Homo-oligomer: A and B are copies of this chain.
């Protein structure tokens, strides 16, 4: 049956993030075929073996890869997790510059081998690199986006779910802006099931309210702070974050490869969105086989608009310093 094309996912970078994303994708069967690439041949071959040894338990999904970039040929989606880590004494800007340099060289090679793929940037600083990757790719803007604040939003929803004792699937809240310090939750749109989070109160008709009370402004702020510092606490305790970003990434992959039209806060280069252009930022976005099918115009409160503009200004300044017009 030459006509069917089973979904092929290429993951660039066999570090903790890339391999966790591969592992999650195999277990979830997010793709039929996962190809892992890294310049470190010994490392990537060991990771592929370790992943392949578990495929008795992952249905029809399979994994291969190595240090030959040609293995990604014809991929339907390419996820980039490769990049330099921040060295001691190196500024974040310097580190960003190094990773921009990597993408400058890498993107044309990837596009050459997978010309029809959707590209997702996971490497940090995610928003900066998404802008750079689009620039270097020459592709339409819909086809290049970053994993953005999908992970941050998942952290927020996990906290809220425990707070209100409702399934995380029914707690709707989203972090927007930079995947970094200037990000913020869209509290004005947060919901528990069909009601606004601000309306979630204790004086309920149910027999099991357990004295719940309304959310206070202070609690909203504490939760915001908790989410924004979560990555730092994970890194302090284990040296890196990998599992949650791996799952978040696999979930976004599914939205593309299954052509879902799922609403996810990925980071894409905006044009005239709430007054913002020429930076990549995360906002609620419809993701399907085209990549970014639509960025959703969300009503912001005044303070949210201010925070969003601040996030954009921060990123634009960095892009300027990196020479990315």
B54 to A142, Cβ gap below 8 A?
no
User: What B residues does A58 contact at CB under 8 A?
Assistant: 247
Q: Which residues does chain B contribute within 8 Å of A316, judged by CB atoms?
A: none
Q: Which residues of B contact A250 (CB under 8 A)?
A: 57
- Most chain B CB within 10 A, of A2, A194, A248, A291, is at A194
Query: Smallest distance from the beta carbon of A275 to chain B beta carbons, Å?
Result: 11
Assess whether A224 is interfacial by the CB under 8 Å rule: no
A46 touches B (CB below 8 Å):
yes
| 232-287 of chain A: CB within 8 A of chain B | 233-238, 241-244, 246-248, 250-251, 254-263, 270-273, 284, 286
Q: Interface size on A (CB < 8 Å)?
A: 114
CB contacts under 8 Å to B, within A174-218, are 174, 186, 189, 191-195, 199, 201, 204-209
Q: Which residues of B contact A140 (CB under 8 A)?
A: 207
Whether the pair B270, A205 counts as a contact (CB closer than 8 A) is yes
**Chain B residues whose CB sits within 8 angstroms of the CB of A165 once the complex forms:** 261, 286, 293
**Does A39 lie at the interface of the complex (its beta carbon under 8 Å from any beta carbon of B)?**
no
Task: Please report the C-alpha to C-alpha distance between residue A293 and residue B140 in the assembled complex, in whole angstroms.
Answer: 40
Nearest B residue to A22 via CB reads: B243
Q: Which of A122-168 contact B (CB under 8 A)?
A: 140-143, 151, 153-155, 157-158, 161, 165-168
Q: A4-B5, A54-B248, A193-B284 are in contact. List 16 more A-B contacts (CB 8 A).
A: A1-B289, A3-B117, A4-B7, A4-B76, A20-B23, A23-B246, A27-B28, A47-B237, A59-B258, A140-B207, A167-B255, A194-B263, A194-B296, A199-B299, A204-B295, A205-B272
Q: Could you list which residues of chain A lie within 8 angstroms of chain B, going by C-beta atoms?
A: 1-7, 19-20, 23-24, 27-28, 32, 42-43, 45-47, 49-60, 74, 76-77, 116-118, 140-143, 151, 153-155, 157-158, 161, 165-170, 172, 174, 186, 189, 191-195, 199, 201, 204-209, 230, 233-238, 241-244, 246-248, 250-251, 254-263, 270-273, 284, 286, 289-299
